[in-house]
């Protein structure tokens, strides 16, 4: 396989491939895809190591123990697969490289700080809307959920509204 880091799949074919993965998840597991709940479970595991009583007394955190260990959950295994798939994809395409991705006019520190800030905001937002772009927009969108479509349109609206303010990060 040629390793050209700037060569990507045709977006439409990539979309069809992604759709088939999603369809497989629907048919085989009766579930969709998800990415953000695994983050909560990682966080709860970390908190549980230092303050188990706090986890037990906070219902949304305690709920991750319903299957036993918070990491013993299908979403965590799915994200494990995402990491493996992403790693293999990056390695075979020549994109596996330790670097910081950003526009030409921003420093590394600022970029990392913004990435972290955006992450915190997205983490909270995904919890608020019961899922992120994977679990809500893709999964719920394909299953015609009204809330998922409202969410998806809002994501694009929020992104476009903010884009002008952070243009120095990317342009």
Contact set for other proteins, span 109-168 (CB under 8 A): 111-112, 114-163, 166-167
Which of 1, 2, 12, 50: binder of other proteins (CB under 8 A)? 12
Output the CA–CA distances (angstroms, integers) from residue 70 to 42, 65, 148, in the order listed. Answer: 8, 5, 26
Least spacing, CB of residue 63 vs other proteins, in Å: 9
Per-residue contact track with other proteins, 39 to 58, x per CB under 8 A? xx-xxx-xx----------x
- Minimal CA–CA distance to 44: which of 62, 25, 22? 62
> Which residues fall within 8 angstroms of residue 132, CB to CB, at 6 or more apart?
34, 35, 36, 122, 125, 126
Which of 21, 56 has the CB closer to other proteins?
A: 21
**Please, what is the minimum distance in Å from the beta carbon of residue 145 to other proteins?**
4
Cα–Cα distance, 148 to 130 (Å, whole number) = 9
Token pair 């979309």 is found at 15
Give me the 55-84 binding string for other proteins, x by CB under 8 A, dash otherwise. ---xxxx------------x--xxxxxxxx
Instruction: Tell me if 3 contacts other proteins by CB under 8 A.
Output: no
Cα(162)–Cα(102) distance, integer angstroms:
17
Residue choice 9, 105, 107, 168 for contact with other proteins (CB under 8 A):
9
Q: Which of 3, 23, 51, 56 binds other proteins (CB under 8 A)?
A: 23
- Cβ 138 to other proteins, closest distance in Å? 6
Q: What is each CA distance from 160 to 19, 137, 156, 164, in whole angstroms?
A: 25, 17, 6, 8
């Amino acid at each position: 396989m040629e390793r050209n880091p700037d060569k990507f799949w045709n977006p439409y074919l990539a979309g069809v491939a992604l759709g088939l993965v999603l369809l497989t998840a629907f048919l085989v597991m009766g579930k969709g895809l998800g990415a953000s709940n695994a983050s909560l479970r990682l966080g709860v595991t970390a908190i549980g190591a230092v303050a188990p009583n706090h986890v037990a007394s906070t219902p949304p955190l305690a709920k991750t123990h319903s299957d036993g260990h918070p990491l013993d959950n299908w979403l965590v295994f799915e994200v494990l697969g995402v990491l493996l798939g992403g790693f293999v994809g990056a390695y075979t395409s020549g994109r596996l490289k330790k670097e910081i991705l950003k526009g030409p006019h921003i420093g590394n520190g600022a970029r990392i700080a913004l990435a972290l800030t955006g992450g915190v905001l997205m983490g909270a937002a995904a919890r608020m809307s019961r899922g992120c772009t994977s679990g809500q927009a893709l999964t719920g969108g394909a299953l015609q959920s009204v809330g998922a479509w409202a969410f998806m349109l809002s994501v694009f609206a929020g992104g476009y509204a903010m884009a002008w303010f952070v243009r120095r990060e990317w342009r």
